[in-house]
Chain A
Amino acid sequence: MDWSVIYEYRHLLWSGFMVTCKLSVTAILLGTLTGIVISMAATGRLKWLKAPLAAYVQLFRGSPLLIQLFMFYFGLSYIGINIDVFEATALVFTLYSGAYIAEIFRAGIESVPKGQFEAAKALGFSYTLLMFKIILPQTLKIALPPLIGFYITLIKDTSIASVVGYAELLNQGKAIMNIAGKPFEILLSISLVYFIICYPLSLFVTWMERRIYIK
């Protein structure tokens, strides 16, 4: 065991860590936005939207992230659309997380008692106001633990982007392995970085679930 390799290549690892953070934050923000919009549309009154939205959610929840990544990254350039690796990865991760988060929010919206909708209607609330003032705040309370739980999954899943050569943490690790060897030390250090990010989040989820359960 020789840990000097970590110190020696700390700049590569750090840049990989920053890229992992960038991709995670992008996917979390855009995916959550997509998910909320889609869950609202799927539970809303526009009937013709429901089928295509359901198809999108089903497709992205019904296939592995890796094959989605190949489909978009290799497939788009194949039909002549120029897309760089960050755009392709960000797009796929947004669509992928959007589908899962839409499902989490849909379950949350449907768990809000029907009387809430009816009461708001009786008071003459517009649909937008009803959603943002009454339904979504209640939804968030129910959806928050699974939502943070999915964020953990998403942060871990960003490592899959290394397969298409996206320069995130694991990919930088592979690069160092090719230069200096020492795969075990490098991979263990990378695991530790993910653990330091994900473990506090998962403790937070457990704590939240317990609080809801006691209530």
Chain B
Amino acid sequence: MLLDWSTPIRNWNYLLGGAVMTLWLTILVFFLSFLLGVILAVCRMNKQVYPLYLISTTYVELIRNTPALVQIFLIYFGLPQFGIHFSPIEAGIIALTVNNSAYMAEIIRAGIQSIHKGQWEASRSIGLTYMQMFRYVIFPQAFKRTFPIAGNQFIMVIFNTSLLAILDVKELTDRALILNGQTFRTLEIFVFVTGIYYVLYFIISTLFNWTNRRWLLNKHETR
């Protein structure tokens, strides 16, 4: 059995379009889930407003302990039962955002809670307002600490978008399946597409690591 790599190479543009789609989906989902994650994290850190705390905690725990694929199915196949219909791409973006926001909430919460209590006390004692405290003291430190973890989460979202192939969202994995159905060059196509994913992963993780080392790592940080 001779392997013939001409099929994926000839369809390079088509596959690259899929990779671009994958990246777009990832960036959009990551951005939306970051916003939702901030809200969830704030609700999870204030036990004073107990109903909000309870709702956000329940949400985060439910999402983090059930598979993303089941969540995608629930939104795309389950909700039409109640008359709520989404197109595949809408359902995909909503499901992945719902999924990822729970993880983002935990990452943000851990980042803020990892800041030593003395930092809060010190900023209060020099008379900073609550907003200033957050803006100049807490946020920069929390950001530095969370950045590498958030970077890993971003890569996880890239991988999760491949699940949307099941809804026929035309991202990279879906295009590999379509191409396979047309040409039957199965192994070559899937190996090639795995390679594209790896290159994507490599570029993005290198970028994150470099940013972290170059701009964010602070060796003199006090804990």
Contact = CB atoms under 8 A, between A and B. Distances in A.
A91 to B, nearest CB: 15
Given A65-B159, A67-B194, A75-B186, A152 B69 contact: no
Contacts of B67: 156-157, 159-160, 170, 191, 194
B81 interface: yes
A64 B162 contact: yes
Contacts of A187: 70, 73-74, 77-78
Contacts of B162: 64, 66-67
Given A66-B163, A156-B67, A162-B69, A191 B74 contact: yes
A7 B141 CA distance: 52
Nearest to A1: B81
A182 to B, nearest CB: 8
B74 A78 contact: no
Interface string B63-87: 0111111110110011111100000
Interface residues of A, number: 39
A145 to B, nearest CB: 13
A163 interface: yes
Greatest chain A CB density within 10 A among B65, B82, B163, B194 is at: B65
B190 A71 contact: yes
B197 interface: yes
A112 B9 CA distance: 46
A67 B166 CA distance: 12
A64 B73 contact: no
Interface string B192-221: 011001100110010000000000000000
A195 B62 contact: yes
B54 interface: no
Interface residues of B, number: 41
A133 to B, nearest CB: 33
B180 interface: yes
A159 B194 contact: no
B198 A71 contact: no
Given A63-B159, A64-B160, A78-B186, 6 more contacts: A67-B193, A70-B176, A71-B191, A160-B67, A160-B163, A194-B67
17 contacts: A59-B194, A63-B194, A66-B173, A68-B194, A70-B190, A74-B186, A80-B1, A156-B65, A157-B67, A163-B166, A182-B81, A183-B73, A183-B81, A187-B78, A194-B66, A194-B70, A202-B61
Interface of B: 1, 61-62, 64-71, 73-74, 77-82, 158-160, 162-163, 165-166, 173, 176-177, 180, 186-187, 190-191, 193-194, 197-198, 201-202, 205
Interface of A: 58-59, 61-68, 70-71, 74-75, 78-80, 152, 156-157, 159-160, 162-163, 170, 174, 177, 182-184, 187-188, 190-191, 194-195, 198-199, 202
